[in-house]
């Protein structure tokens, strides 16, 4: 089994990005990402801290707007509007999940689509589904970069995606289909999950259900990408039983150290892409 080592691949890509940014900042301002964090969810704080550190590493300035969890929707909307108007800001990220009294999709769609670093804006997703150039959602983009790094052929493979969310499952299905894969998308109403996963050449496990994918659900030689991030008995685990599945998979991504770092790299690359548009080169 070959480990899909997202940690190292992201490191390599971040280094290349850093060099690329340095060439532009000799003559232009620095790229800048605004991060909005609402409340004190420990996982969100840790994600935001990680994203901030990664920005620093590659030369992207970042500014954190940490709001109380009692903030009103109007207050968040007004902050987003100010950031939309601010010419020194290239990307805006609203860290999810946000408190239940706030409408996440409404707020995401208020972010200018030219500053949508996460690629979640309804118009950008529309472009993606119509196969037009746009900012891709960070996790699906990171997954594709990871597969491409290992020269894994996607065309003509059968990819089974477990999960149909707007931020992972559905867009990754689209990106894999665009690269020639035949797609099956599974979800909670899927009758026999195992029947589908057993036929897969590529499994993308993005259910958010700890250790859902067992060895007997995976075909010999399959490529398995574990997107899940779950806490189980104080430990971080994915959606895949790593120790079992490594015996049958040809490639397998670990948790942590797989898709997570690739997602952050994709976010940085998206911010840079938006920056290039803003400085008009
Ligand atoms: P989500 O919005 O909760 O979606 C989960 C999807 O999985 C839903 O479509 C759900 O089906 C399906 N599902 C859940 N349990 C299932 C089961 N037992 N059998 C079949 N389908 C099942 O989650 P998400 O935002 O897509 O995230 C998925 C996971 O990826 C989470 O663990 C999240 O933390 C992780 N994640 C990691 C990164 C990273 O950078 N590593 C980034 C984003 C997300 P229904 O639609 O029928 O409910």
All domains of the chain in start order, with CATH? 29-114 (3.40.50.10860), 138-260 (3.40.50.720)
Q: Supply the pLDDT for residue 119.
A: 97
C-beta 229 within 6 A of ligand 1:
yes
Q: Supply the pLDDT for residue 280.
A: 85
The residue to mutate among 47, 208, 210, 217, having the most atoms of ligand 1 within 8 angstroms of its beta carbon, is: 208
pTM beyond 0.85, yes or no: yes
> Residue 201 — φ and ψ, nearest 5°?
-85, -35
pLDDT digits (tens, 9 = 90+) for 57-82: 999 999 999 999 999 999 999 999 99
pLDDT digits (tens, 9 = 90+) for 124-164: 999 999 999 999 999 999 999 999 999 999 999 999 999 99
**Tokens 């746009």 sit on residue:** 134
C-beta 83 within 6 A of ligand 1:
no
Residue nearest to atom 19 of ligand 1 (CA): 188
Euclidean distance between CA atoms 43 and 257, whole angstroms: 16
Q: Is 51 a catalytic residue?
A: yes
Residue nearest to atom 35 of ligand 1 (CA): 228
Measure CA 61 to chain center. Answer: 20
C-beta 188 within 6 A of ligand 1:
yes
Reduce the DSSP state of residue 187 to 3 states and report it.
coil
Q: What angle do CA 81, 86, 88 make, to 5 degrees?
A: 145
* C-alpha distances in Å from residue 194, one per residue of 55, 64, 129: 40, 42, 28
Tell me: pLDDT of 195 over 90.
yes
Radius of gyration of the chain from its Cα atoms, rounded to whole angstroms: 19
Q: Is 53 a catalytic residue?
A: no
How do strand 202-205 and strand 223-226 relate by DSSP bridges? parallel
Q: What is the mean pLDDT of residues 94-123?
A: 97
Q: Supply the pLDDT for residue 281.
A: 73
């Amino acid at each position: 089994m070959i480990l899909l080592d997202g940690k190292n691949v992201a490191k390599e890509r971040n280094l290349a990005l850093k060099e690329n940014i340095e060439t532009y900042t000799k003559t232009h301002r620095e790229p800048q990402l605004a991060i909005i964090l609402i409340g004190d969810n420990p996982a969100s704080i840790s994600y935001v801290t990680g994203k901030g550190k990664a920005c620093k590493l590659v030369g992207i300035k970042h500014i954190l707007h940490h709001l109380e969890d009692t903030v009103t929707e109007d207050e968040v909307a007004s902050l987003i509007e100010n950031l939309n108007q601010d010419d020194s800001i290239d990307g805006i990220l609203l860290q999810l999940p946000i408190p239940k009294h706030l409408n996440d999709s409404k707020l995401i769609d208020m972010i200018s689509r030219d500053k949508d670093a996460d690629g979640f804006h309804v118009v950008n997703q529309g472009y993606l589904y119509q196969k037009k150039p746009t900012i891709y959602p960070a996790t699906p983009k990171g997954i594709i970069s990871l597969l491409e790094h290992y020269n894994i052929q996607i065309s003509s493979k059968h990819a089974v995606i477990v999960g149909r969310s707007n931020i992972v499952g559905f867009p990754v299905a689209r990106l894999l289909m665009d690269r020639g894969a035949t797609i099956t998308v599974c979800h909670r109403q899927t009758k026999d999950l195992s029947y589908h996963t057993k036929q897969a050449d590529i499994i993308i496990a993005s259910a958010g259900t700890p250790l859902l994918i067992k060895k007997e659900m995976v075909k010999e030689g399959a490529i398995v990408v574990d997107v899940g991030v779950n806490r189980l008995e104080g430990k971080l685990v994915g959606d895949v039983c790593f120790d079992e599945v490594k015996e049958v998979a040809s490639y397998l991504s670990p948790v942590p150290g797989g898709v997570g770092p690739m997602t952050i790299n994709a976010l940085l690359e998206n911010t840079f892409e938006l920056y290039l548009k803003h400085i008009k080169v």
